[in-house]
Amino acid sequence: MAEITHPPMDQLQDLEYCIDSNPSWAETILLAFQNYILMLGTSVMIPTLLVPAMGGTDRDKALVIQTLLFVAGINTVLQALFGTRLPAVIGGSYAYVIPVAYIINDPSLQRISDRHDRFIQTMRAIQGALVIASSIQIILGYSQVWGLFSRFFSPLGMSPVVALVGLGLFQRGFPLLGNCVEIGLPMLLLVIGVSQYLKHVRPLRDIPIFERFPILICGTIIWIYSLILTAGGAYHNKPIATQISCRTDRANLISTAPWFKFPYPLQWGPPTFSAGHSFAMMSAVLVSMVESTGAYKAASRLAIATPPPAYVLSRGIGWQGIGIMLDGLFGTVTGSTVSVENVGLLGLTRVGSRRVVQISAGFMMFFSIFGKFGAVFASIPFPIFAALYCVLFGLVGSVGLSFLQFTNMNCMRNLIITGLSLFLGISIPQFFNQYWNPSHRGLAHTNAAWFNAFVNTVFSSPAMVGLTVAVILDNTIEVEKSKKDRGMPWWVKFRTFRGDNRNEEFYTLPFNLNRFFPPT
């Protein structure tokens, strides 16, 4: 048998910068700006989907986008400094769309005839639900309960979960790219060509600009191309859906965004509280917690770090709960989770520096305060982002599959668990999504609307379904007999903070705070 030349490795080897190593300041700033541009897709798409349904105007939408970006910057800094300390961007989450749609369609709110008043009252109801629901993550995180639960995880159980964090977002990729294929497809091909085939070309000194900045380079080229198509009248007399997807002037963000607006807590008024709204929102909080857990595992691998120990994972979930509470206080119309696309960007650029993400948070806050400047970049057609998602979500999915190297995949037990978790993780959410529409109808449609929202949200999440299937099967089928096959001998040393001496390098709190909050 030929010698194996690629044995399992704790950390990826072909990345240039890990958490604590930093590129030059010029590269760092450009990389940070690239992270900011990338997270604009989700930050614009979610308010664009929800604010009009709430009764809001284009100006209301622009203000919500600014607020979402501002709070995302705050949450990213908090997570990078005091949470997991991984280079993870914290942004808006699609997991909250179903419970928010349930609140929007509440009969008591729909009866409000004045559109602006309905928008304000709906926003305040969403705020109240987010504030109450955030307590779940805060309690599970800081009580270490989530860390204790994570002890049931193994490389075999987490591999499909991390994979589904990326692959489960397939609907955000080519289906949305296809809404404007003349823009999206060239972007996809250009990103692949520039980042992979030209990565060793270095026209500027020794900096691999094509590998480091594919989004800035390709995005600029295709954006200019889309501007030319728009100005040249290519979309005159086209259907409204095509114009919204393809034109660069349909979002009305630049004209409606204020020059200067400092988002502040309770800017829409005091939150209102409802038990039904809060219970519905709790489903999204649970889903975002699971999705973030998978994203943290992927980010640690792409930042050349060890898997975050249970204590660090709980700490990050606790701070993410505080972030969701801030979302509720400021009024972002959605909760927070780890931005999967930005995790994928760590691998595409081969830069896992924490400093890059911290500076990108500064860009988020700056451009959210000076609204006109931020609106220019936010007007990029969404198919450009969808093309990027095809690459970045796929990369995160492959990182999840890489955890299988620590398991015995010649074992039928492991093959069944992995295959079933991946298949059901994609198939069940697809089944639920077929029956859901913005009027909060779904596969679950009892007389208790909050219960419908809860069930439809939980089972519409690939990562949530995948975690449920994988963890249950992995911890009930021949558990003792299969410890080695599951990868536990490799995994066990990363369960505790003191289990591996590299953990201190990656996850120790700054400012000597470990004296007051000693790791366990």
Residues 137-164: tens digit of each pLDDT: 999 999 999 988 888 888 999 999 999 9
Residue-wise pLDDT tens digits, 60-78:
888 998 999 999 999 999 9
How far is the C-alpha of 270 from the C-alpha of 268, rounded, in Å? 7
pLDDT band at 1 (very low <50, low <70, confident <90, very high): very low
For residues 366, 372, 373, 375, the Cα torsion angle rounded to the nearest 10 degrees is 100
pLDDT digits (tens, 9 = 90+) for 350-408: 999 999 999 999 999 998 888 776 777 777 888 999 999 999 999 999 999 999 998 98
Q: Does residue 494 form part of some domain?
A: no
pLDDT range class, residue 4, cuts 50, 70, 90: low
pLDDT class of 31 with cuts at 50, 70, 90: very high
Q: Is 272 exposed, middle or buried, given 0-12, 13-18 or 19+ CB atoms closer than 10 A? A: middle
User: Highest mean pLDDT: which of 4-18, 191-205, 458-472?
Assistant: 458-472
Burial of 9 (0-12, 13-18, 19+ CB in 10 A): exposed
Report CA-CA distances (Å) from 473 to 153, 157, 167, 251: 11, 8, 21, 46
Q: What is the pTM of this model?
A: 0.92
Taking residue 138's Cβ as centre, other Cβ atoms within 10 Å add up to 19
| Section 47-60 average pLDDT | 88
Q: What angle do CA 51, 54, 57 make, to 5 degrees?
A: 55
In a domain, 288, yes or no: yes
Q: Would you say residue 2 has pLDDT above 60?
A: no
DSSP-assigned states of every residue in 406-442:
GS-TT-HHHHHHHHHHHHHHHHHHHHHHHT-BTTTB-
Rg over CA atoms, the chain: 22
For 204, the domain range is 25-401
Residue at 175 is within a domain:
yes
Q: Which residue has the higher pLDDT, 247 or 77?
A: 77
Number of domains forming the structure of the chain = 1
> Is the pLDDT higher at 488 or at 9?
488
- Please tell me the distance from the alpha carbon of residue 488 to that of residue 500, in angstroms, as a whole number: 15
Ramachandran bin of 179, using left for φ above 0, alpha for ψ from -120 to 50, beta for the remaining angles: alpha
Q: Please give the DSSP secondary-structure letter assigned to residue 387.
A: H
- Please give the residue that has the higher pLDDT: either 309 or 248: 309
As a whole number of angstroms, the distance between CA 326 and CA 469 comes to 32
Main-chain dihedrals φ then ψ at residue 267, nearest 5 degrees: -70, -20
The verdict on residue 412 lying in a domain is no
**3-class DSSP assignment, residue 300:** helix
Q: What percent of the chain has pLDDT over 70?
A: 95
Domain annotation covers residue 450: no
Residue 37 lies in a domain: yes
Q: Is residue 509 part of a domain?
A: no
**% of the chain exceeding 90 in pLDDT:** 53
Q: What is the pLDDT of residue 217?
A: 94
19 falls within a domain = no
pLDDT of the residue at 438: 65
